[in-house]
Structure 1
Amino acid sequence: MKVVIQRVSKASVVIENIKVAEISNGLLVLLGIVDDDTQSDINWLSNKIVNLRIFGDDEGVMNKSLLDSNGNVIVVSQFTLHAATKKGNRPSYIKAAKPDVAIPLYKAFVKQLELDLGKPVQTGQFGADMKVELLNDGPVTIIIDSKNKE
C-alpha cells in the first residue's frame, strides 16, 4: 500500500461537476493498493498518517500531528501510484490491484483511518474520473509505502 500525503489548506474532489468531498486544513491522501496488501498494511499506514508530525506548532515548527491539529482528511484512490515506468514511455499498471481486491481494501483503509482519527473521513469515488483540487500548504508532500516499514 502506497500513499502520497499532501498537507493542504483546502482540498476538494469533483465528479461529473458535483463536489463530493471538501476539506480545509488537513491532508489529501492519494492511495494506491497492490494485490498483497493486507489489514496489517492498513493498520500500520493509518496509524502512521494520523500521528505523522507535519503540522506547525505555535513556533511554526512541524511538531503536531493530524490528531493534535484536529485536521481533516480526504482519501482518493489512485492506482497510478504503482505505475511501472522502467521500459518504454507508456506506464504499466500491472502491479495495481484489480477492483475486486482493491475496493474492499480501500473501504477498510478509510474505516481504519476514521477509527484512528476519531471522526469521518471524506473520499472520492473508487474508479471514477475525479477532478482533485488542492492548495498544498508548505508545500508538504510525503510518500509512504507500507512495504518499506523497516
Structure 2
Amino acid sequence: MTGWDIQPQGVQGQLKVVGTHAGDLEKALNTLVTDMQEAAQAAGTAVPGSAAETPLQGPTASGKPLTRKASGPVGAALAEYMNGRKTTHFEPMAQRIQAAVLGAAKATNEYVQGDLDQAKEAQDAARQVRLDLLKEPGGKK
C-alpha cells in the first residue's frame, strides 16, 4: 500500500452509527437484567407460605416492618447465571466496543494531524525553493 485514504467525516459518521447500536445494546442488556430479576421473583421459593418472607429488624419510616423474600432454586440459578455472564460476557463486550470506538477516533485524529504536519512541511519546503535557480539562463522562464 503506497498511501492512506481515510475520510474523517466518514469515520465520524460510522462512529455515530456504532454509538447508536451500542446504546441499543445497553438498553437490551438492561431489559435482560430486569426480565431476569422478574423471572427470579416469579419463580417462587421452595419454602412454604409465611416462611418465604423474613422480617428485618429496625425501625422504618412508614412504621411497617420490612421483609426480605426468600430466593428459590430457580431464582438463585438465574442470579448465578447473570453474575457469571456479567464478568465473562457483558463487561468485556462493553470494553471491546469502547476500545474500538476510541481506537478508531484516535487513529483518525492522528491521521488528520499527520496530514496537517505533512502539509506544513511541504509549505515550508516550498518557501525555501530558490526560484532564480529554476529560471533558464538569459532570464527566460
Q: With the length of structure 1 as denominator, give the TM-score of the two structures.
A: 0.19
- Larger fraction in helix: 2
Larger RCO: Structure 1 or Structure 2 (Cα < 8 Å, ≥ 6 residues apart)? 1
Q: With the length of structure 2 as denominator, give the TM-score of the two structures.
A: 0.20
- Larger fraction in strand: 1
